[in-house]
């Protein structure tokens, strides 16, 4: 492991100043991604700035009904927070479907947003990887690519974004608050992660030195039901082969509003506007869900080992939509 300077901080402005615009500096909070990658020599920070003691661990309902989540709220605390369980059950389900209890106890909200791909070639410094080393190539394209993406891919990278939490946030709608050398700014969650295109090493829209301080969830859709379905090789501590997060509002058997986001098959948390349009004002029926699944997957590009993900994702979408509708019916019955 290479040497680096370690700098604890107590205030947000102090942390941002310590980072400056030094691209070789890294923030650390839970450390569940960074420590692994430093040990593997994949990330080589010259300075590590400890932000774990910043005052960013509150969950607060705002006057306009949105929910503001501090960057340092752990995945465990967020999944079990009463506001999340009651008003955003999709988020709680998605978080609890990810990782292990021990990791969720350490992992933070902002760290989860920032987590890196699990592509094995990215984590092997002997392999060619455009994401780790721009211009070096991509060993996954003609290698073992069973776990890789079919949506949002390019000829330069087909790595899956690994987060479950982010799939729920993409479906629920959220805003990120960023603090950096240039001040404070806000960004829609769905604009934050980049597609790999020609520069897979540019994973997100953070400027050098910027820090995520909060994630604010949109006000929940009135009367909507939701469901998160994750399909994977084993029942726990495993990444998704395909996942779907659905939010649906139904009245008189007709879908009034729908949100759908996908995981395990895309290079970023994948909100499917095409599927949502196929659902809008249509009967809440299996045939509608199947049409939405077709719309969501119409641009999928399979590789040698991952073509099975397309029918698998189709099933995940149909089931998640069906269960979200049932949840909406249950909620209406209890009103």
Summarize as ranges the residues that interact with ligand SF4 (CB under 6 A): 117, 119, 121-122, 129-131, 138-140, 157-159, 200
φ and ψ of 84, to 5 deg: -75, -45
What is the separation, in whole angstroms, between the first and last Cα of the chain?
57
Least distance in angstroms from the C-beta of 160 to ligand SF4: 9
Helix 89-96, helix 165-172: angle, nearest 10 = 160
CB of 101 to ligand SF4, least distance (A): 28
- Integer Cα distance of 260 and 258 in angstroms: 7
Residue whose CB is less far from ligand SF4, 139 or 210: 139
Q: Closer CB to ligand SF4, residue 201 or residue 329?
A: 201
Rounded Cα distance, 197 and 153, in Å: 7
Name the minimum Å distance from CB 121 to ligand SF4.
3
Q: Which is nearer to ligand SF4, 158 or 250 (CB)?
A: 158
Q: How far is the CB of 157 from ligand SF4 (least distance, A)?
A: 3
Residue 64: CB atoms within 10 Å: 8
Q: Alpha-carbon distance 51 to 53, whole Å?
A: 6
Nearer to ligand SF4, 36 or 281 (CB): 36
- Indicate the residue among 57 and 154 with the shorter CB distance to ligand SF4: 154
Sequential DSSP letters for 286-313: HHHHHHHHHHHHTT----TTTTTHHHHH
Q: In whole angstroms, how close is the CB of 131 to ligand SF4 at the nearest point?
A: 4
Choose among 41, 28, 24: nearest CA to 115: 28
Q: Which is nearer to ligand SF4, 159 or 178 (CB)?
A: 159
> How far apart are CB 140 and ligand SF4 at their closest, in Å?
4
């Amino acid at each position: 492991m290479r040497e680096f300077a370690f700098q604890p901080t107590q205030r947000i402005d102090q942390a941002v100043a310590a980072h400056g615009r030094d691209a070789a500096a890294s923030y650390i909070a839970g450390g569940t991604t960074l420590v692994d990658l430093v040990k593997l020599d994949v990330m080589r920070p010259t300075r590590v700035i400890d932000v774990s003691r910043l005052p960013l661990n509150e969950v607060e309902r705002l006057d306009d009904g949105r929910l503001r989540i501090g960057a340092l709220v752990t995945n465990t605390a967020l999944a079990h927070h009463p506001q999340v369980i009651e008003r955003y059950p999709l988020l709680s389900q998605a978080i609890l479907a990810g990782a292990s209890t021990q990791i969720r106890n350490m992992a933070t909200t902002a760290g989860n947003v920032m987590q890196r791909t699990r592509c094995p070639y990215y984590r092997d410094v002997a392999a060619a990887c455009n994401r780790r080393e721009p211009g070096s190539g991509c060993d996954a394209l003609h290698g073992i690519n069973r776990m890789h993406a079919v949506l949002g891919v390019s000829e330069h990278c087909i790595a899956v974004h690994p987060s479950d939490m982010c799939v729920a946030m993409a479906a629920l709608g959220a805003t990120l608050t960023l603090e950096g050398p240039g001040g404070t700014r806000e960004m829609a969650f769905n604009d934050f992660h980049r597609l790999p295109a020609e520069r897979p090493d540019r994973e997100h829209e953070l400027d050098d030195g910027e820090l995520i301080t909060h994630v604010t969830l949109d006000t929940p859709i009135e009367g909507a039901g939701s469901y998160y379905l994750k399909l994977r090789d084993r029942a726990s501590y495993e990444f998704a082969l395909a996942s779907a997060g659905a939010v649906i509002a139904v009245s008189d058997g007709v879908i009034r509003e729908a949100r759908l986001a996908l995981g395990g098959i895309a290079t970023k948390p994948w909100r499917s506007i095409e599927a949502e349009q196929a659902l809008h004002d249509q009967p809440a029926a299996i045939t509608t869900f199947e049409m939405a699944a077709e719309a969501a997957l119409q641009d999928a590009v399979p590789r040698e080992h991952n073509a099975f993900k397309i029918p698998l994702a189709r099933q995940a979408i149909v089931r998640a939509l069906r269960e979200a509708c049932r949840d909406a019916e249950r909620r209406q019955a209890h009103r």
